[in-house]
Structure 1
């Protein structure tokens, strides 16, 4: 596909030109179809809204008309029988409401039959009214009144039937309009496959070189500065590739300088620091004579600061591993159990000082990884677990393989980490609240180094913690290219 695209005459034009060409060829038919369909839908919507309101009004007016007619008949019948003036007054009010309803509501509809039916209805109402209010009303019988109202009910029924016909006509008109819009929109859909084909061609023209460029950028993100960057594509893509190649060369040179500087300054600092630490230990242990309380306190502060400085230098050396991209190429098959035991050996004094129990549930697992980087990851996670573990607590290490990926968890029984801090603890130089009696001071780089190294190894790290009883913190790392070794399993539980 890429070779075919390279042969196109406009492959090396600018992204701006490609975008404008693709947008124009895709947008014009779609915009036309959209505007036409929108106009049809808008007309249908307006027609539907009007029809719904009209239908609702017709139904409501029919209901009012029937109710008013019923009340009118009741008051007229009662007046004929009882001859009370109050019933006559109520009859007159209902008659006026009926006339107003006919003249104001039904006369608004543009229909040939409505005026005729309204006229018949009005004439019949007036006929009844003239009999009831005439001087001969005393001799008017109830049967006569009911007979007249039956005739009026027949006219009302004709009006209701015609109203239903009008509603059906509106519904049929709406259905016809909807079918017309449906056919129009279905016809417009024929444009979509053409536009999709055009869009697909231009998307490939623009995104294919970008994907190649993204792969080169990911190599830079992982710290691989050895591979040169060359990408064929549009003018802008080639310019970006050239700029990235220049940046890669400079970053590589700067990285080598940084690594060399950190190694040099760290080793230069460690030599006088060792002498200071040795002298401080002699003074602190009163090997050169007794100390008073103030001198003892000052010596303790110096001793603590020297230990902290030594730890900071060690973290800087570990961080130098993160900056050193050359070590990324040194992948080898590693026995996970051996690496964990080596990391525990380095921390055995800290473990014994706090009387911690280390439980291991690790099978015979191997993975292809950089041994030096993995040891730094394990050391920092174990150091963190030891630091926050209570005295006589337990640290649990578990490992298993799923779909050729290693899952390793390290759990301590510390006070836990609040969920609001889960994203902050991986920031450089961030230090969470430490135990007041902790003998292990940190520089705030440990978890940052772990995260950076795991990212370079295509791995990841997550945290689960509980601050309530029972409190705990579990770090889970995931690394690719792991498998269970076909050897005898090691013991599933070891205690240190």
Structure 2
């Protein structure tokens, strides 16, 4: 289809170019013929004038000296005149050339006859020689006729060139609308499926795999759309395999981890007897790391459930201020540990939303802000509801997120740059879980500019309760 489109656009242009090329070639051939004819005619006219001059000199020498050797020279030089006359006769010239040529031949024959006749008197010879003046006039008329013919040919070529130029310009004016129509038509025909392809590729790049890829347009672009849809289905299969693996490995680790944690707790509670200080320290390390490992495993399970249940919402009536307060209360110890202040602005409204997923979004954003905030900083939480849109902002005063990391910050297991004291501990899936829950609500989550620190903005379409 694309090849046919390009061919249809190229054919009118090719026709115009070929027509112009043929016209220019014809004009060039005529110009070449005119130049060659003018050159031959000019050369023949010059040779005619030179031959007449030579013959006149020979005739006068013979008349004055009465030496027949000069008559022989005259007879030999007549060949020059005959060659010039033959060239002029062979030209495709008009009567302005043919008539003087015939007169020159006739007059010269009479002069030669008078000179070569022994009975001719000297007076008759001088009279014959005087007729060379008429030959010079005829030669001049031949030259003038040639010049006029050249001027006429030049003017004819100019007229033809103007006609060719006008014809080419007219063809161009006639072809431009056709070419423009074809170009615009095929651009519109191709642009829409290309935009659809671009949107589909961007959706796949963002991990949005639920919408099938359908491209309506030329066959080659439609085939490309089918290949993209095949890739989408393959990615869905890989994503499901990955989530299944995460769930299986998380469940497999929970049982031995529970035993390890319970054992450490029993040791700390002295259920197994008194412990030395070194043993108590080891038991505390075991319990602390067991709890951290349990938190990571629960995060993996939560991420898998978030992806698996992206469309499974359980909307209930929820008071927005209570939801924000519950989230901040669950992080009270972490806030106190880093001496962080909070600035909360929440609209006193009730909404219908999945309270569990909404609280998870808040928990993960607040947890992320606490991790990256320096000691004594402020964490700002804002929640506004207007015209069916809930907007939540969580901002910190940490180091912020580098420009090159912004596009991948919501990908699983990706963490932002390190703070001054070293990397921030965490699984790197908190923001990924928040994004999955936001997408489940049909909303958006983005990283907006904040100075200092980072600010995450969530927009959710929810109904009032």
Change in CA separation of 1:387 and 1:218 when aligned onto 2, cut-off 3 Å: closer
Q: Give the match's secondary structure for 1:479.
A: strand
Give 1:338 deviation, angstroms: 4.4
Give the match for residue 461 of structure 1. Answer: 446
Contact 1:417 1:465 in 2 (8 A): no
Change in CA separation of 1:427 and 1:222 when aligned onto 2, cut-off 3 Å: closer
Cα distance between partner residues in 2 of 1:264 and 1:463: 36
Change in CA separation of 1:462 and 1:229 when aligned onto 2, cut-off 3 Å: closer
CA offsets 1:380-414 (integer angstroms, 9 cap, x no match): 11111222334554322113357765432212344
Q: Give the match's secondary structure for 2:454.
A: strand
Give 1:212 deviation, angstroms: 5.5
In the alignment, does 2:347 pair up with 1:363? yes
Q: For structure 1, which runs of at least 5 residues remain unmatched after alignment?
A: 1-17, 35-180, 467-471, 488-496
In the alignment, does 2:269 pair up with 1:289? no
Cα distance between partner residues in 1 of 2:242 and 2:384: 37
In terms of mean alpha carbon deviation, does 221-230 or 359-368 score higher? Answer: 221-230
Q: Structure 1 residue aligned with 2:8, among 21, 25, 38?
A: 25
Give the match for residue 340 of structure 1. Answer: 324
Cα distance between partner residues in 1 of 2:189 and 2:457: 39
Q: Structure 2 residue aligned with 1:375, among 359, 383, 390?
A: 359
Q: For structure 2, which runs of at least 5 residues remain unmatched after alignment?
A: 18-164
Normalising by structure 1, report the TM-score.
0.50
Q: How do 1:428-439 residues align onto structure 2 when only pairs under 5 Å count?
A: 428-431=412-415, 432-433=417-418
Give 1:442 deviation, angstroms: 0.7
Contact 1:266 1:316 in 2 (8 A): yes
Cα distance between partner residues in 2 of 1:443 and 1:377: 16
Q: RCO (CA 8 Å, sep 6+): is it higher in 1 or 2?
A: 1
Give the match for residue 249 of structure 2. Answer: 265
Give the match for residue 461 of structure 2. Answer: 481
Q: Structure 1 residue aligned with 2:178, among 172, 194, 202?
A: 194
Give the match for residue 441 of structure 1. Answer: 425
In the alignment, does 2:270 pair up with 1:302? no
Q: How do 1:17-416 residues align onto structure 2 when only pairs under 5 Å count?
A: 18-27=1-10, 191-210=175-194, 233-284=217-268, 288-293=273-278, 295-324=279-308, 326-328=309-311, 330=313, 332=315, 335=318, 336-354=320-338, 356-364=340-348, 372-391=356-375, 393-400=377-384, 405-414=389-398
Cα distance between partner residues in 2 of 1:406 and 1:345: 21
Cα distance between partner residues in 2 of 1:307 and 1:434: 24
Larger radius of gyration between Structure 1 and Structure 2 = 2
Change in CA separation of 1:395 and 1:215 when aligned onto 2, cut-off 3 Å: closer
Give 1:301 deviation, angstroms: 3.8
Give 1:283 deviation, angstroms: 3.5
Cα distance between partner residues in 2 of 1:220 and 1:409: 27
Q: Give the match's secondary structure for 1:408.
A: strand
Give 1:316 deviation, angstroms: 1.1
Change in CA separation of 1:256 and 1:186 when aligned onto 2, cut-off 3 Å: same
Cα distance between partner residues in 2 of 1:263 and 1:22: 52
Give 1:370 deviation, angstroms: 5.6
CA offsets 1:44-95 (integer angstroms, 9 cap, x no match): xxxxxxxxxxxxxxxxxxxxxxxxxxxxxxxxxxxxxxxxxxxxxxxxxxxx
Q: Give the match's secondary structure for 1:343.
A: helix
CA offsets 1:254-308 (integer angstroms, 9 cap, x no match): 4444433323332332233233223224435666423334x45544443343233
- Supply the RMSD in Å over aligned alpha carbons: 4.7
Give 1:463 deviation, angstroms: 4.3
Change in CA separation of 1:444 and 1:414 when aligned onto 2, cut-off 3 Å: same
Cα distance between partner residues in 1 of 2:418 and 2:270: 33
Contact 1:311 1:442 in 2 (8 A): no
